[in-house]
Amino acid sequence: MKETLLNKIQTRQAVVGVVGLGYVGLPLAVAFAEAGFKVVGIDVDANKVEALNQGKSYIEDVPNSQLSPLVGGSGNGRLHASTNYGDLAEVDAISICVPTPLRKTGDPDISYIINAADSIAAHGCKGKLVVLESTTYPGTTEEIIEPRLVRDGHEVGRDVFLAFSPERIDPGRTDYTIFTTPKVIGGMTEACSEIAMALYGTIVEKPVPVSSPATAEMVKLLENTFRAVNIGLVNEVALMCDKLGLDAWEVVEAAATKPYGFMPFYPGPGLGGHCIPIDPLYLSWKLRTLNYTARFIELAAEVNSHMPDYVVTKVADALNDECKSVKGSKILILGVAYKPNVSDVRESPAVDIIHLLQERGAEVQFHDPYVDDLSHEGIFLTGTPLSNELLQEADCVIVVTHHNVFDWENIAANAHLIVDTRHVIKSKGPGRVVYL
C-alpha cells in the first residue's frame, strides 16, 4: 500500500481531500490542485461550497482569478467542493483543516476534529494518508485520530497512514507562501512520514521531518507561544514605561539596534486572530491535566487580555483632560480587524474595546476599509465611511488596526484627540495624540 500510494503521488494520480475550506484549507486545496492533483474539498457550509464550485473565493489570500481556472476551464475541474463526506471514499490522502476553538471554560474544543475523523473512518480509510493540520495539544493525533482510523482492525503504517503537519498560514502575508514556508511533518511511523513528506513535497519547497506527531504538535504551540509571551512582555514594558514617563516605542527601537540577542516586538491594544491568543492555552490546558502550571503562558495571557482595559483607561484619561467623560462622548474606532490589511475580526482587541466603551456609555462608531459590518460577541455595528467631518466630530479617535490604506497625515490633521495604540501618527496636527 505504501508503494502504491507513493507512486500515485509521484505521478499525480493521487486524489487529495481537504476537510475544512477556511483560511487554511482553501489555500491548501488550491496548492494541491495547482500541483496537478485532483482535489475534493469538504466543508459543512453549503454557501462556501456553492461559491467555490462557481469559482468565487471568500478568502482574501485566494483571488477569484486563481481559483476559477481550477474549478473549470484550463484546470479541467481539478478542484471540487462538497458538503458530503461520502465524496472522500475514493481519495488517497486527506488533510484535516477544521477549527479548534477554545470553550468558555478555557479547554480546547476538539469536536470538529472528532467529527472529521469519525466521518473519514465511516467512509473507509484503508490505503489512505490522513494528515491533521488543525492546531491542537500534543497527543491529539495519537489519542483522538488514530483510534478512529483503526477501528476495523487497520494497522497504522501498513493499512492506513497518519501524520500531523501544523499549518503555517499567515493571512494577508505575501512574502511567504505555502511553497516557500518550510512545513513540519511528524508521522506515526517511518512509512507514514515518508508518504506525508512525499505528498507535501509536491507543494512545499522544504518539508521538515520530526520524530512524531506529538513533536510536530508541540512545534506549532512553541511557535505561537513564543510570540504570545514576547508580546506579553513588551506590553508589560509599555505599562512600566507609562509609569516611568518613557516612550515604549523609543525604548524598543533603540534596543533593536543591538545586532544579536534581541528580537523586537511592539506593544499593542491586545492580541487577536485565530492563533496567537488561543494556541498557547491548548498547551496550558494540557499541562494542567499533568499537574503542571505553564506560568509564562498564563502570565502572558493575563497581561495581553487586559490591554483593551488599559486602552479604554487611556481614552478616559485623555477625555478627562478635556473636561469630558466617556459617557456621551463620540468615539471613532479606526480598524476592527485583528491585524492590518485583512478582514478577519476573530479575537480582535477592537471588540473588547468597543464593549468596554459602550458599557461606559460612549457613542461608538467604527471605520475599517476591510470590514463593513461588525456582528460579533454581542456587538452589532455598521461601519461608517471615513470623512474629514467624521474625524472632526469625534470626541476621540482610537487607532486600533493600522491598515496600510489609512492616510495618517489626514487623520492627524482633522482629529482633535487621538489615542494611537499602534504608534503610526507621526505628523503633528492641530489636536493632541496620546500614545499607548
275 is catalytic: yes
Torsion, Cα 27 29 32 35, to 10 degrees, reads -60
170: CATH: 3.40.50.720
Q: Which domain holds residue 369?
A: 306-435
Q: Do 295 and 314 belong together in one domain?
A: no
pLDDT in tens, the chain (436 residues): 999 999 999 999 999 999 999 999 999 999 999 999 999 999 999 999 999 999 999 998 999 999 999 997 544 689 999 999 999 999 999 999 999 998 877 788 999 999 999 999 999 999 999 999 999 999 999 999 999 999 889 999 999 999 999 999 988 888 999 999 999 999 999 999 999 999 999 999 999 999 999 999 999 999 999 999 999 999 999 999 999 999 999 999 999 999 999 999 999 999 998 788 889 999 999 999 999 999 999 999 999 999 999 999 999 999 999 999 999 999 999 999 999 999 999 999 999 999 999 999 999 999 999 999 998 778 899 999 999 999 999 999 999 999 999 999 999 999 999 999 999 999 888 899 999 8
- What is the pLDDT at residue 76? 64
Q: Distance between CA atoms of 41 and 138, rounded to whole angstroms?
A: 26
Q: Which of 304, 329, 360 is the last residue of a domain?
A: 304
- What is the pLDDT at residue 132? 98
The C-alpha cell at 154 is 487497520
Q: Which of 304, 331, 360 is the last residue of a domain?
A: 304
Q: Do 137 and 12 belong together in one domain?
A: yes
Q: Which of 304, 337, 359 is the last residue of a domain?
A: 304
Nearest CA among 215, 161, 166 for reference residue 189: 161
Residue at 186 is within a domain: yes
Q: Do 147 and 232 belong together in one domain?
A: no
Residue at 215 is within a domain: no
Q: Do 317 and 297 belong together in one domain?
A: no
Torsion, Cα 401 407 411 412, to 10 degrees, reads 100
Residue at 378 is within a domain: yes
174: Cβ–Cβ under 8 A, 6 or more apart, which residues?
none
Asked if 203 contacts 35 with a C-beta cutoff of 8 angstroms, the reply is yes
Q: Do 16 and 132 belong together in one domain?
A: yes
Q: Do 277 and 328 belong together in one domain?
A: no
- What is the pLDDT at residue 171? 86
With residue 33 as reference, give the H or E element that holds it: helix 25-34
Q: Distance between CA atoms of 76 and 141, rounded to whole angstroms?
A: 35
Q: Distance between CA atoms of 336 and 214, rounded to whole angstroms?
A: 35
β 183-187/161-164 pair status: antiparallel
Asked if 431 contacts 398 with a C-beta cutoff of 8 angstroms, the reply is no
Q: Do 351 and 247 belong together in one domain?
A: no
Nearest CA among 262, 188, 253 for reference residue 230: 262
> Which of 97, 192, 241, 275 is the catalytic position?
275
Q: Do 7 and 101 belong together in one domain?
A: yes
Q: Do 73 and 136 belong together in one domain?
A: yes
Q: Do 234 and 327 belong together in one domain?
A: no
Residue at 403 is within a domain: yes
Residue at 401 is within a domain: yes
263: CATH: 1.10.1040.10
Asked if 326 contacts 359 with a C-beta cutoff of 8 angstroms, the reply is no
Asked if 39 contacts 117 with a C-beta cutoff of 8 angstroms, the reply is no
Number of CB atoms found within 10 A of residue 106's CB: 13
Q: Do 204 and 87 belong together in one domain?
A: yes
Q: Do 229 and 205 belong together in one domain?
A: no
β 373-376/379-382 pair status: antiparallel
Residue 9 phi/psi, 5° resolution? -65, -45
- What is the pLDDT at residue 152? 85
The residue with cell 493540520 is 133
Residue at 238 is within a domain: yes
- What is the pLDDT at residue 379? 87
Instruction: Classify 46 as helix, strand or coil.
Output: helix
The C-alpha cell at 127 is 490505503
Q: Distance between CA atoms of 49 and 21, rounded to whole angstroms?
A: 8
Look at the chain and report how many structural domains it folds into: 3
Q: Sign (positive/negative) of CA torsion 158, 220, 302, 359?
A: negative
